[in-house]
Amino acid sequence: MPPSASQRASVPASPRHADREQPRVTAPAFASSGPAPAWLLFGLLAIAIGFVMYVAQSLLVPIVAAVYVSILFAPIARGLRRLGAPPPLAAAIVMVAASVLLTASVAFLGTSLGEWINRAPHTIETLQGKLESVKEPVATVQEATANLEEIASMDDTEWVQQVEVRPPSISGTILSQSMAVLAGLGICLALTFLLLCSGDQIVANTIRSASTFAQRRRLLRAVRCLEQDMTRYLTLRTAVNVGLGVAAYIVFALLELPNPLVWAATVAILNYVPYVGAVVVTILVAVVSIIEFDTLSRAALPPLAVMGLNLVEGFIVTPLVLGRCLRLHPVMIFLATVAGGWIWGIAGAFLAVPILASVVIALRHFPHLQPIAQFLGGDRPIGTPPPTPRRVTQHEPAFTSRSRHPQPAGRPSSRTPSMETAS
């Protein structure tokens, strides 16, 4: 007998049909992506550091400059200490010698620079006379723009109150900037002296804070590699810039450019700023040539000579001299220079490449960050990459180089690698 309608309604549906009639609504499951990649964390850290650098510019610029100056002169101070000089005396000798050398250089350039400053009014008048042909079309365009603005504002009958904004006085601006520069210079000199006196002790205390001997050895190797590479880079870069300045002086003297010593020194100093310095000095020399020479062919020779010298220095001399101790990607150098100039101004443009090189050297000593260092360093890494240390497990005893007795891996070692003998 077939079931009635009420019986058919009371019979539960099969599981297969139940799934079709009443679909289950489930929340979307999001798969865990795991930990963030190293490059993302490094990018966020770089953005945070850049913001702090921008905010604390007046404090960080002299500190960073003092660190690199102390790195440059640290081998000399260490050599004096090995000869028996106390650390304060060795630091004082280095600081006095550097100050005397800098003062002598400024005094040597003072005569030529004073002549150029005395000729500044006549130079400005000459430049204005030669730019009259350029100023006439510009004045015509400005007049037409003013007429259009006047026509457009005829229908506007609303009264607008005009507010005059007076810029700060030139004397007040110069005074405030001078005080800031003097304060920064004082901080830089004082910190440089203190770092030359006790820089090795600070590094030794930092190394002692590591938990194992392997970590201490890695830190010591990173510090020594950073100091050696940066000292070599700054020394060779200074030698290359001095040679470029000498070559520029000879060329300017042969081309009869006024004050060749001043412009040669400008070429040498601005060469510390990659790419941007060469462009700036070429523009300056071109302006001076237009002012001093009557013919266009003669005025074009000095800037063309500067461009040729910079090309020879950038593509031949620098790769031969600095190729083995420092190799950075050109795009990264340019971006670092632009970012440094935007964050710290002129000082940031000068410090951009040393900071970038220091970051790459430091990253080379951390296995997980070596790809970032390789990316920043181009096709050739900076310095000698350290071997990847073998991980010590918790149940494996750690041995020091001087003691053969096992020591638990979590307990800090009482011995620290020597700061003077380690390489």
Residue 368 vs residue 346, higher pLDDT: 346
Q: Measuring CA to CA, how many Å separate 183 from each of 74, 175, 189?
A: 24, 12, 10
Please list, in sequence order, all residues whose beta carbon lies within 8 angstroms of the beta carbon of residue 329, skipping any fewer than 6 positions away: 375, 376, 377, 378
Distance CA 19, CA 134 (A): 84
Please give the mean pLDDT across all residues of the chain.
75
pLDDT bin (cut points 50, 70, 90) of residue 132 is low
CA-wise closest residue to 188 among 365, 382, 347:
347
> Angle at CA 188, nearest 5°, toward 169 and 272?
85
Q: Measuring CA to CA, how many Å separate 174 from each of 100, 118, 177, 180, 341?
A: 27, 20, 5, 10, 21
Least confident of 27-41, 111-125, 389-403: 389-403
How far does Cα 359 stand from its chain's mean position?
10
**Sequence spans of domains, the chain:** 58-112+187-209
Look at residue 158 and give its three-state secondary structure: coil
Dihedral of alpha carbons 89, 93, 94, 98, sign: positive
Distance CA 405, CA 387 (A): 24
Please tell me the pTM assigned to this model. Answer: 0.67
Cβ atoms of residues 207 and 220 within 8 Å: yes
Interval 57-63 mean pLDDT: 90
The secondary structure of 49-99 as a DSSP string is: HHHHHHHTHHHHHHHHHHHHHHHHHHHHHHHHHHTT--HHHHHHHHHHHHH
**Amino acid, res. 338:** V
Q: Measuring CA to CA, how many Å separate 33 from each of 27, 43, 368?
A: 18, 18, 19
SS3 content of the chain, % helix, strand, coil (to 5): 70, 0, 30
Interval 218-245 mean pLDDT: 85
Please list, in sequence order, all residues whose beta carbon lies within 8 angstroms of the beta carbon of residue 169, skipping any fewer than 6 positions away: none
pLDDT bin (cut points 50, 70, 90) of residue 305 is very high
Interval 212-222 mean pLDDT: 81
* Conformation bin of residue 275: beta by default, left when phi > 0, alpha when psi is -120 to 50: left
